[in-house]
Chain A
């Protein structure tokens, strides 16, 4: 069920920029999106000296 929600979220995000995600792409796109989020999380965790204050 959670995976279905991720798939639906991906479809909605894609539609917002004019992309259709055919069913056969969902598993691969989801796996790649998860991988990219993991990489991005490593960067978010690292403080840079010139980080702007929120």
Chain B
């Protein structure tokens, strides 16, 4: 119990950080929604939205989850996970871009409408 009372001052200081983090997350959420309504190009919308989401993740990880104060075991495990995650994300993207010209089936080459497009039109 003694350790609890000894860290009371730290906890009280942390509470102020939590409130600040909460306010920051609300502002960033509003920014994400605002930016998505202003930007029309998918590429720029994706860059801004995911960029802001990244900042939000940093706020949550540092303030609420206190990651910078985590031990090496935690940081090492998360770093390894991050490397594997990047590989997981990169492999399909790389394989998707790796086609021999003319080998990929494209429905519009055969003069057939994409099935998804037809269904989408039906729904409206």
Co-assembled chains A and B: no
